[in-house]
Structure 1
């Protein structure tokens, strides 16, 4: 009887942890627990069992693909150096691990090269690469991805620039390329039908939408029926995450990947 009970308990726990098919994506790594877009944050994201990490890229003055969310270093580096107007050496003179709540926490970080983060991807895991600049980054991005030697399914290109995503899909036909969309300045969300039509016209693979969209099963079904994937960001509320997972989204981007996985397992 005890053996049977243990068998049932283990089976129940396994079912609980795999109830939701949605992938967990670490937003700028595990950015709740380490400075965003740093090697420490990305390592921690994978350590927390994120299915993927997500990051942002820019092109430096000397043509290097670096990882940084903002267009300048003011918020995370303390100096308003515009990434595109400075060399990698100049940008790496700043420490991006000691800002905000990270002061005194023992972090010391330099702006990472994309190639350094690609080298961290474990087997079976992925990296979402958000293009923050324009299509000018695509040639060097191609060089970096080629040198990294990762499997095509391990890297996903995302971005808000529709034309840039269209150009990215043409440049990388074998990679998944998804269009990021949020509400407009009047906080109005575009109809899903329009987003689907534009995505299909550009031959994109999916949509990556702000959590404010009215995402329910009907919404997800429409996207999937069009042959597109659907991801959502940035979700740190387990109630919202559970609802979106139950609706069938392909992935949920969160600042707290490990914690969010635990919350979803508990709530399931």
Structure 2
């Protein structure tokens, strides 16, 4: 850890996150959800670059493997909601996907935005920032993912793998052992009994068994200080998605979360990292 002194405050460099020592709150990694997706069309270069401009510590994107073996940034199984074509991403070639406008739905100024490749997005990562890559397909993407990451020249610390599918995360950790791999989940609560689908130990044990590096949890009342402390004691930092309220974000930071994924990284940065 290194420390740089400025006239009125101290900045401590801890890994990839810059922390103001004068802040009233602990450090937190602010992650742009699909880029800065509140303002720009999700998973596009415009959204990713806007998140960097807003000084996000990291950006999260979703990936699929196309019919012809290229990795693209896209969230849904089909291109209907954003691109207007009701067809699975995996059933289309990259050239076919490039005919879709994925920006106009958000704002006319983004008209003609195209679905980017993972490689294009990797090239945008600034020094001391990182990219969270959420695998939306399955383990079939991993060989090409390793190839794209190796070719990017980015340090292992600048990319992390996340995903809902536990078996895919297991395989990702085996194939990419130098990368951080986090298991994504959101715990459902029975509306009648108020019982959660699983308890904290279920997720902690499964992540530990797979040698994963942390937990990435959907924000609801399952996320408590006790849960975070138990995960941390097992060596599993906790990230939380998707949080767009400063009030909720501050609550989570005080609980001890490692990072917060938000559609509005600029808003959260204004609260946690105000300019001096």
TM over 0.5, yes or no?
yes
Aligned equivalents of 1:109, 1:18: Cα separation in 2: 40
Alignment of 1:212-251 (within 5 A): 212-251=220-259
Q: How big is the shift at 1:217?
A: 2.8
Structure 2, unpaired ranges of 5+: 1-6, 12-19
Q: Which has the higher helix share?
A: 1
Q: Does 1:209 align with 2:217?
A: yes
Query: 5 Å matches for 1:53-72?
Result: 53-72=59-78
Pairing 1:148–2:152 present: yes
The 1:190–1:120 alpha-carbon spacing in structure 2 relative to 1, beyond 3 Å, is same
Residues 1:216 and 1:184: Cα distance change in structure 2 (over 3 Å): closer
Change (3 A) 1:261 1:159: same
Q: Is the counterpart of residue 169 in structure 1 residue 168 in structure 2?
A: no
CA contact (8 A) 1:98 1:108 kept: yes
Distance of 1:244 and 1:150 partners within structure 2: 30
Which of 197, 200, 219 does residue 205 from structure 2 map onto? 197
**1:38-87 alpha-carbon deviations (Å, 9 max, x no partner):** 00000000110100000000000000001000011101101112110110
Within-5 A mapping of 1:24-173: 24-99=30-105, 102-173=106-177
Q: CA RMSD in A?
A: 1.9
Deviation at 1:190, TM superposition (A): 2.4
Is 1:22–1:250's contact at 8 Å kept on the other side of the alignment?
A: yes
Moved over 4 A (4+): 12-18
TM-score, normalized by length of structure 2? 0.88
Counterpart Cα distance in 2 of 1:134 and 1:112: 19
89 and 53 in structure 1: CA distance in 2 versus 1, 3 angstrom threshold? same
Change beyond 3 A, Cα 1:154–1:265? closer
> How many aligned residue pairs are there?
256
Paired residue secondary structure (1:232): strand
* Offset, 1:105: 3.2
SS in structure 1 of the partner of residue 134 of structure 2: strand
| Structure 1 residue 17: Cα displacement | 4.9
Structure 1 alignment gaps of length 5 or more: 1-6
Partner deviation per Cα, 1:83-112 (whole Å, 9 max, x = no partner): 10110000110110011xx24234431110
- Which residue number in structure 2 is paired with residue 3 of structure 1? none
The structure whose residues are more often strand, as a share, is 2
Contact 1:182 1:189 in 2 (8 A): no
Point out the more displaced range, 215-224 or 253-262: 215-224
Using the size of structure 1 for normalisation, the TM-score is 0.90
